[in-house]
Structures are given as structure tokens and as C-alpha cells.
Amino acid sequence: MVVTKNEHDRIRALFEGLVPADLLDAYDRLLASNGCAKDEAATFIGDPELVRALTGCGMAHFLPHSPAAPAWLAPAPPDLALQGVLGGLQTRALRDQERLLDGHRRLADAQAVPDAHAAGLSPGHLIRVLSGRAEITSLSASLINAARKDWMTMDNLDTDMPLTADFAQPPLPAAGGQVRCRAIYAAAVMDHPVGRRLIEVCGAAGEQARLLPHVPMKMKLADQNAALLPLTPTGTAGALLVRAPLITTALREYFELLWDKATPIAPKRPSPTAQRLPPGQRIVLALMAEGLQDDAIARRAQLSTTTVRRHIAVLMKRLEVTSRFAAGAAAQRRGWIG
């Protein structure tokens, strides 16, 4: 089969992203040579597994020998080959869907809450005390898998280990764009390089983040189904896994109250008034909204502490507020900052 370059490119475009690149390359070689002898297929293709993959997905098939020719591995025409590939994908998708439904049924059974009074059982299974560091760490990392709509976290980066780049990992592997992920951080997190990096990485992965001057404790909450709460400041020596609906519902309401009070990190287009602020005041205002103190603002803005305090005094007067964090919140409401 003689294939022009344009035709070759068109055929590759049909299959790219649907089959592995090495499989597509093998199909290319078969098309270019119009197939090969069955006994030479493994050598010609370069890998017996690729031969099985080609025939298994319908991109090629074996022709029996004839008086004039040996048994032959022939490429399927591109349209028929694509039909075979799509048929295989559909079959696998149906199997995956069946496994997914079965998994959801198992999860529902595992999370089913029996009527404690009717069954004479203790409701103690609704709150589980965790004391092993490894168990807490593992559960903390994997709890997001229980979220179907909302994943909510609160973090102050209080840890008994030095903060390193290992902490800057997005906790969103199971979200897949289907779960809304929100996080409330203590403002001081932004003053730490690893903390800033953590927020940047998670934000790039789709997390919405907000800041409060003080976050009293860590928390992870999957919908209103399960929550992980620390029993110690860092949460690594002891924690509670809570599945009691009354408590998880209250924790969800608590998170929403703090979320409404917190200052968004994501930048918005500044208002005309904000654009008229001197550059130094705009920078200081943005850092104030993160909850940073004067010295920290001075370091980040590369200004003197005296200059920072002078800018803060002017901004608070313009915003008609009496506290630093209120200034950040008021500026955000007016659209002066994100």
C-alpha cells in the first residue's frame, strides 16, 4: 500500500491519543509494507507483544497461507482499524463503569450507618481515635478519595518536622475536576517559602485558597461524610476520624463561616481606585490582606519597616478601618485587591 506523506499524517491523526505511540508506529510500518509474513512478524515489528496488540485491537489480522504466499500479517484499512480500536475502548469503558458502580456499592455498604438503637450496637464506630503516625499520615493523604463534591481543608502548617519541598504537593489526585477543592490557610503560611510554594502548586491544580490571620487547628473534610481532626497541634501524634453526621455537618458549617470571613488569594482585576494607588501602597495593601506583620511585609516588599507603617496608616485612613486585617478585607470588597 503506497501512502503519501499527507495521507500518512492523516492516518496518524486518526489514532493519536487513542493507542500507544509504539503501537501506532508498528501499524505505520505494516501499512508502508502492506504487511509481512506471519513467521517474520515478531522480527519485523520488533516486539511479539506489539504483534499481539495489533491483532488484539483489530488494527491487523493474520491471513492464512495460500499456494502462492505464506501466512501473512496484514494491516486493516485505517477506517476498519479505527473501528476496532474504538470497539476495544468501549468494551474497556463498560468494564470500568461496572467496576466503578461495584466499588460505589461496596463503599456505600462500608459507610452505611446502622441504627444503633434498633441493632443494639454502640455508635462508637462513628468516631475513631487514631494514634499511629503512619496510619494518620496515610489517612490524611488519602481521605480526599471519599469526597464526591467538596473537599475542604484548614491548615496552619504547624508541623513537628522541618518544612521542606516535600510538603508542596497538591492534595488533588482524586479530584479529577469533579470535586471542588477549597483551603483556608493561616496568613503566616505566605511568609514561608515552602508555604507559598504549597499554595501555588495547589492553586495550579485547581484549589481555591483563602487566608485568615489565625487558623486555630488543622482539618480535612470530605463532603459531610468524613472529617479528620487533630488531637495535638500538629495532628501527627493523635487524630480523630469522624463520620457522625451531626458532627460533620457542624464542621461543614464552621468551615463555611470561616470561608466567608477569609480573604481570597486569587488575584482579581484591580478597580480604577486601586490602580491610582501608589505602587508601594498597592504592594503593602496586598501583603496586609495576607495577614503579614510589618517586618514580614517590609522583607517581601523590599521596603523599610518605617515606610511600611506609613503606608499602612494612610491605607487604613482611606479605608476607614481600625485594624490591619479589616483593611485587607475592606480593600478586597472594594475590588482594590484580589
Query: What CATH number is given to the structural domain containing 300?
Result: 1.10.10.10
Asked if pLDDT for residue 325 goes beyond 70, the answer is no
Residues 258 and 294 in one domain: no
Residue 26 pLDDT? 92
Its domain, for residue 35, covers 5-84
- Residue 112 domain-assigned? no
Residue 268 pLDDT? 45
SS (H, E, C) the chain: CCCCHHHHHHHHHHHECCECHHHHHHHHHHHHHCCEEHHHHHHHHCCHHHHHHHHHCCCEEEECCECCECCEEEECCHHHHHHHHHHHHHHHHHHHHHHHHHHHHHHHHHHCCCCHHHHCCCHHHHEEEECCHHHHHHHHHHHHHHCCCEEEEEECCCCCCCCCHHHCCCCCCCCCCCCEEEEEEEHHHHHCHHHHHHHHHHHHCCCEEEEECCCCCCEEEECCCEEEEECCCCCCCCEEEECCHHHHHHHHHHHHHHHHHCEECCCCCCCHHHHCCCHHHHHHHHHHHCCCCHHHHHHHHCCCHHHHHHHHHHHHHHHCCCCHHHHHHHHHHCCCCC
Asked if pLDDT for residue 121 goes beyond 60, the answer is no
Number of domain units in the chain: 3
Domain boundary among 264, 295, 319: 264
Domain boundary among 235, 264, 293: 264
- Residue 94 domain-assigned? no
Residues 17 and 73 in one domain: yes
pTM higher than 0.85, yes or no? Answer: no
Task: Give the burial string for 134-162 (b: 16+ CB within 10 Å, else e).
Answer: eebeebbeebbebbeebbbbbbbbeeeee
Residue 116 pLDDT? 40
Q: Of 214, 217, 212, 215, whose CA–CA distance to 239 is shortest?
A: 217
- Residue 110 domain-assigned? no
Residues 183 and 240 in one domain: yes
- Residue 241 domain-assigned? yes
Percent of the chain past pLDDT 90, that is, above it, reads 24
Residues 164 and 255 in one domain: yes
Q: Of 135, 317, 314, whose CA–CA distance to 238 is shortest?
A: 135
Residues 141 and 54 in one domain: no
Residue 259 pLDDT? 94
- Residue 13 domain-assigned? yes
Residue 338 pLDDT? 54
Residue 119 vs residue 127, higher pLDDT: 127
- Residue 135 domain-assigned? yes
Residues 55 and 34 in one domain: yes
Asked if pLDDT for residue 180 goes beyond 50, the answer is yes
Residues 137 and 250 in one domain: yes
Hunting for cell 481600625 — which residue is that?
Answer: 322
Residues 293 and 309 in one domain: yes
Pick the range with the lowest mean pLDDT from 49-63, 150-164, 267-281.
267-281
Q: Give the integer Cα–Cα distance in Å for 95 and 102.
A: 10
Pick the range with the lowest mean pLDDT from 97-101, 263-267, 306-310, 318-322.
263-267
Residue 333 pLDDT? 63
Residue 120 pLDDT? 44
Residue 289 vs residue 262, higher pLDDT: 262
Q: Of 11, 89, 28, 85, whose CA–CA distance to 55 is shortest?
A: 85
Asked if pLDDT for residue 23 goes beyond 90, the answer is yes
- Residue 52 domain-assigned? yes
Residues 328 and 259 in one domain: no
Mean pLDDT on 112-122: 43
Residue 112 pLDDT? 52
pLDDT tens digits along 204-240: 777 889 999 889 889 999 988 889 999 988 877 889 9
pLDDT-derived band at 108 (thresholds 50, 70, 90) equals: low
pLDDT tens digits along 52-88: 999 999 999 998 888 888 999 999 999 989 989 998 8
- Mean model confidence pLDDT for the chain: 81
Domain boundary among 234, 264, 294: 264
Residue 135 pLDDT? 81
Residues 25 and 151 in one domain: no
Residues 242 and 279 in one domain: no
Residue 118 pLDDT? 37
- Residue 108 domain-assigned? no
Residue 10 vs residue 173, higher pLDDT: 10
Residues 240 and 172 in one domain: yes
pLDDT-derived band at 41 (thresholds 50, 70, 90) equals: very high
Q: Between the CA atoms of 304, 305, 310 and 312, what dihedral angle is there, to the nearest 10 degrees?
A: 120
**In contact, 240 and 127? CB cutoff 8 Å:** yes
